[in-house]
Structure 1
Amino acid sequence: MKHLNKLLLAVVMVMAISSHAQNSNNPWALSFGVNAVDTRATAGGGQSDFINAVSQPFNVKENWNILPSVSYLSVARSVGENFSVGLQGSINKINKFVTYNPIAPGHNSSGYVVTNPGDLMYYGIDGSVKYSLMSLIKSKVIDPSLHLGGGYTFFGDNSFGTVNGGVGLTFWFSENVGLSLETTVKKSFGDRNIMGNISTPVAPSHLQHTAGITFQFGGKDTDGDGIYDKDDACPEVKGLKQFNGCPDTDGDGIIDGSDACPDVFGLAALNGCPDTDGDGIADKDDACPDVKGLAAFKGCPDTDGDGIADKDDKCPTVAGPKSNDGCPVLDADKDGVADKDDDCPTVAGPASNRGCPEVTVEVLKQLNEYGKTILFDSGKSSFKSQSFTVLQSITSILKEYPNTTFMIEGHTDSDGSNELNQTLSQDRAHAVKNYLIENGIAANRLEHTGYGETKPIDTNKTAKGKANNRRVEVSLIKK
């Protein structure tokens, strides 16, 4: 058993080396199974007798020595170009030793004698170089091979070196697991058993057959996608086999490295980018990705064909010059201000006031004359009935100046306390403002305030003067 211990130690050392040498697809192979030793085919007897000897290569019952357990273990390492180197250890028990001796008692008609030399233990350590023919026959399952090497055999108390050569055949069930069969001729060096003296075999040449399971391993797959780094075009990113290990995140059939939009399903014609509106312009380059448009306008439409994209055209359905923002030049009131820029398109006015008429001094004077005739109930902010005609006239004038803002001011005479007059003037200005809003004047065009008795325009010592001081004034707010 001391030789067996040496064998196992050698195999363990080789396997230990494997954990530091992974640099290609499954470079390591581990095999184990049973072996058979046959001394008949190499027992001698001349050329014709050799032919007779090998005529029974599968005479298992009479010639083969088989130990009914796992009896061999081998480790091999690929070195490229279909070559591999390996180390094999085997153990057997010899109870069928075949020699050629036509004159010895007990020989058969062919001159071969089968004896039991006393259950001799057999140990073998063999190294070999193997050449696989798998790529030559272009198969992924059947793997024939040739091997050549040498070894050392322990045969009972004797030991000797051998030169080995043979053939093998592996059937791969998967990329990593296969059934391996091999036959090796081991040509011995040392004293041969002497014809007629078969009791103490010394250094017989012999055949060794093996049958076992082979596991390939050691391939490096950094990203864990099932594709070894050697064949992975993207070894550090998990990918798909059909793309040589590169990813296709959006599943559009274009690998991420060549996909201009790797996270969005797209078209090959647009380098993997989508085109939602189908105008031939990728969404990422399309200023209007949801509306079919023209390349000249970065994918935006020009409905009226005036050379201005709809998104920049203030009149997208009617052709107009760019100088007029795509709108036709219309000026209904003939004031020289295009309708699109005219806040008062039906009333003539200067461009400085956006086409609206400007409030003149005369108009303001007229408004304030009206304001003096607005009558309120005594001490209140409610209107006397005769004031509504005046209020309607003020409303009509303000409507003629739709882009102008006015201040409504309330004033009182000096009767009563300052606080009361201030509040009353504020309330009366507010009442006028509310009336104007309720009759069509935009609220954002009106402001109001009260000045109480602080801004008289006449004396408060006469009834007529007080009447003049009780008034509402309208002023222009300039912006």
Structure 2
Amino acid sequence: MKNLSRLLFAMLLVLGYSNSNAQDKNNPWQITIGANAVDNYPTSDVGGMFKDFFNVGDNWNILPSLSTITVSKYLGDGFSLGVGGSLNKIENWDGASNAGDLSYYGIDGTIKYNFLQGTTIDPYLGVGGGYTWVNEIGAGTLNGTLGLNIWFNDNVGLTLQTAYKHSFEDYLNSHFQHTAGISIKFGGTDTDGDGIFDKDDACPDVKGIAAFNGCPDTDGDGIEDSKDACPNEAGLAELNGCPDSDGDGVADKDDKCPTVAGLKALAGCPDADGDGVTDADDKCPSVAGPAANKGCPWPDTDGDGVLDKDDKCPDVKGTVANNGCPEVSEEVQKTLNAYAKTILFDTGKSSIKSQSQAVLADIIKILKEYPNSKFTVEGHTDSVGSDKLNQDLSDARALSVKEYLTKNGIDEFRLSSKGYGESKPIDKNTTAKGRANNRRVEINLAK
């Protein structure tokens, strides 16, 4: 029997270190250590099998010390496989209460089914077989098992079990064996030590919390780190876990003004006057104005109703129709030509006489009053001489006046010149007075 006990112990060790299957999803193994009672009340009468079932004093053989050990492993879907060994001393056997101290040894294998896994009260049924020796005479048995686990916590519980062992040999009585013991579930792996076994841990290498299947929430804002855009700062779910210090709906990491409530469109910065320019960049934060003018309204310096940005003559009052520049009136046009007609040239030449400088100064003053207007300097002659000579002379005199004006402050792009020879007389060429009137220069607004 000593050799048999050693063999049983060796088998339990091998089973205990096996790495196949598991006791449940998280704990690979269950070991039960306790005491057993062999109930040898006659079982041949099926109808009366249980009538004296609880007569402990007359029928049960109890070894109060450690007398049974079972190791089981999980097979899946509530099923597990177990191997157990037991020993006892038999005084009541085959209906006799004075059988003497007979030795009892048993080794049994059981497949059991647990009905309520993961609950405090965990009943099960089992079926299996084994070999039992009484007074060193052994026989095989077919076993049926009914048991109950009462779990105190995830790992430790009380196990109560009754097994009916039906003998295949006449020399070994069929009998009941009752067991009570402490069960321990163990072997679950929790690499990161967060209390969630690796089998159920979505982040087995990083310490986490049960709410996120073992994944961490470093800042404790209720959003797991993998989905948290700001995992080290507690924030809001609607901002992917990022904080919003000023409560403007823009996460601090994206907020250019994180301490002052602002607008999403302006990256969290305020715009008091609502002109689309942030207060920090707005030169006129209380008055709406365009961004192009740094948030200030466009001025109208000359007060002509045309904003400076659109006014081609911002410092001179003009008209809207002429883009803010003054328009040349008919009266001004007449004044220009009255001055222009008094410009004198050397006879038969395009050179301007010096006494004409005063009138040219008056013309320049008028032209500067209309900086956006363009003019044509026109030259005319009388009919004395050939057409070609008169045409050339008129061209030269018109060009001479234009060049004088541009050299004295008038933008050359505002002026053009053209000679008309004798083709546009304004008086008769038959008299000296008429010919004098026809020899002239005009300065007309370009159309």
Q: Hey, what does 2:73 align to over in structure 1?
A: 77
Displacement, 1:234? 2.1
Distance in 2 (CA, whole Å) between partners of 1:95 and 1:204 is 14
Q: Does 1:208 align with 2:208?
A: no
Give 1 or 2 for the bigger CA radius of gyration: 2
- Deviates further, 23-32 or 124-133: 23-32
1:96 and 1:117 in contact (8 A); partners too: yes
1:250-295 Cα distance to aligned partner (Å, 9 max, x none): 1111111221211111111212111111111111221211111111
Q: Matches of residues 352-367 of structure 1 in structure 2 within 5 Å?
A: none
User: Hey, what does 1:134 align to over in structure 2?
Assistant: 116
Q: Write out the 4+ residue segments of structure 1 that deviate beyond 3 Å after TM superposition.
A: 18-24, 328-334
Among 242, 252, 255, the alignment partner of 2:221 is 252
Q: Residue 246 of structure 2 contacts residue 261 of structure 2 at CA under 8 Å; is this kept in 1?
A: yes
Distance apart, 1:324 and its partner CA: 2.0
Q: Secondary structure at the match of 1:52?
A: coil
Q: How does 1:107-146 map to 2 (within 5 A)?
A: 113-135=95-117, 140-146=119-125
Partners of 1:282 and 1:238 in 2: CA distance: 27
Matches of 2:235 and 2:250, distance apart in 1: 12
The residue that corresponds to 1:287 in the other structure is 256
Q: How far apart are residue 329 of structure 1 and its match? A: 4.4
2:296 and 2:121 mapped to 1: Cα distance?
79
SS in 2 for 1:293: coil
Q: Is the 8 A contact 1:308 1:326 kept in 2?
A: yes
Report if aligned partners of 2:83, 2:109 keep a CA contact under 8 Å in 1: yes
C-alpha RMSD of matched pairs (Å):
2.4
Query: Residues 115, 21 of structure 1: CA spacing in aligned structure 2 closer, same or farther, 3 A cutoff?
Result: closer
Tell me which residue corresponds to 1:196. Answer: none
Whether the 8 Å CA contact 1:67–1:93 is kept in 2: the answer is yes
Which residue in 2 is equivalent to 1:148?
127
C-alpha distance in structure 1 between counterparts of 2:232 and 2:275, whole Å: 37
Which secondary structure does the structure 2 equivalent of 1:97 belong to? coil
2:274 is paired with a residue whose SS is coil
1:36·1:64 contact (CA, 8 Å) conserved in 2? yes
Mapped to 2, the partners of 1:325 and 1:280 lie a distance apart of: 26
Structure 2 counterpart of 1:61:
57
SS in 2 for 1:236: coil
Q: Which residue of 2 aligns with 1:277?
A: 246
Q: Which residue of 82, 88, 102 corresponds with 1:86?
A: 82
Quick one: structure 1 residues 51 and 19, their matched pair in 2 at CA, closer, same or farther if it must change by over 3 Å? Answer: closer
2:7 is aligned to 6
Conserved 8 A contact 2:234-2:243: yes
Q: Distance in 2 between matches of 1:71 and 1:324?
A: 96
Paired residue for 2:146, among 167, 192, 202?
167
**Residues 23, 219 of structure 1: 8 Å contact kept:** no
Match of 1:177 among 142, 146, 156: 156
Query: Gaps spanning 5+ residues in structure 1: where?
Result: 99-112, 193-201, 339-479
Residues 377-404 of structure 1, C-alpha deviation per residue, up to 9 Å, x if partnerless? xxxxxxxxxxxxxxxxxxxxxxxxxxxx
- Aligned mates of 1:305, 1:166 — CA distance in 2: 82
* Corresponding residue SS for 2:66: coil
Report the Cα offset of residue 77 of structure 1: 0.3
Query: Deviation per CA, 1:316-372, whole angstroms, max 9, x where unpaired?
Result: 2333332222234459899xxx9xxxxxxxxxxxxxxxxxxxxxxxxxxxxxxxxxx
Higher helix share: 1
5+ residue gaps, structure 2: 308-447
- Kept in 2, the 8 Å contact 1:88–1:126? The answer is yes
Amino acid in the other structure paired with 1:8: F
Residues 272-421 of structure 1 mapped to structure 2, 5 A cutoff: 272-329=241-298
* 1:187 counterpart = 2:166: yes
Report how far residue 63 of structure 1 moved: 0.5
Task: State the aligned residue count.
Answer: 304
Which residue of structure 2 aligns with residue 241 of structure 1?
210
Taking the aligned partners of 1:205 and 1:96, their CA distance within structure 2 comes to 14
From 181, 188, 208, give the equivalent of 1:219.
Answer: 188
Alpha-carbon distance in 2 for matches of 1:24, 1:179: 20
